[in-house]
Amino acid sequence: MGSKRPLRVGYWWSSKKSLKFKYTEFADVCRKRGIDLVKLDLERPLEEQGPLDAIVHKLTNVMLEAEAGDPWALNACRRFREYVSSRPDLVVVDPLDKVEVLLNRYNQYTAVQENRNGQSGEEEEEVFVPAFVELHSRDVRENLSRMRARGIRFPIVCKPLVAHGTPVAHEMCLVFNEGGLGDVKPPCVVQEFINHNAVLHKVFIIEDKYFVKQRPSLKNFYAMDRETIFFNSHLVSKANSSSELTEPDEEECEEGRRWAVREERLGRIATSLGRRLGLALLGVDIIVDRETGRHAIIDINPFPGYDEVDDFFELLLDVIVRRASCSPEAPQEDSGIETSDSCDEKKAAPCRTTRRQHSRNTQP
Tens digits of residue pLDDT in 166-176: 778 999 999 99
Identify whether residues 120 and 203 lie together within a single domain: yes
Cα distances from 297 to residues 179, 237, 283, 285, 287, in angstroms, run 28, 15, 11, 6, 7
Identify whether residues 25 and 145 lie together within a single domain: no
Using alpha carbons only, give the angle 233, 237, 238 rounded to the nearest 5 degrees. Answer: 115
Identify whether residues 190 and 335 lie together within a single domain: no
Identify whether residues 62 and 185 lie together within a single domain: no
Domain that holds residue 27: 1-94+308-364
For 316-330, give the DSSP string: HHHHHHHHHHTSTTS
* Confidence tier at 24 by pLDDT (50, 70, 90): confident
Alpha helices, DSSP H, located in 214-344: 233-236, 250-255, 263-277, 312-325
**DSSP-derived secondary structure letter, 48:** G
pLDDT at 338: 31
Contact in structure between 281 and 206 (CB atoms under 8 Å): yes
Cis peptide before 130 (omega within 30 of 0): no
* Confidence tier at 164 by pLDDT (50, 70, 90): confident
Task: Tell me which of 302, 317, 341 is where a domain ends.
Answer: 302
**DSSP-derived secondary structure letter, 349:** P
Identify whether residues 165 and 137 lie together within a single domain: yes
Is the pTM value of this prediction over 0.95?
A: no
Identify whether residues 234 and 127 lie together within a single domain: yes
Residue 75 maps to which CATH number? 3.40.50.11370
Identify whether residues 247 and 138 lie together within a single domain: yes
Tens digits of residue pLDDT in 38-73: 999 998 999 999 899 999 999 999 999 999 999 999
Report which of 115, 194, 117 is spatially closest to residue 155, judged by C-alpha positions. 194
Tens digits of residue pLDDT in 105-156: 999 999 999 876 555 555 557 899 999 999 999 999 999 999 999 999 999 9
Identify whether residues 85 and 208 lie together within a single domain: no
User: Per the structure, how many domains does the chain have?
Assistant: 2
Identify whether residues 27 and 135 lie together within a single domain: no
Residue 198 maps to which CATH number? 3.30.470.20
Identify whether residues 137 and 15 lie together within a single domain: no
Identify whether residues 332 and 277 lie together within a single domain: no
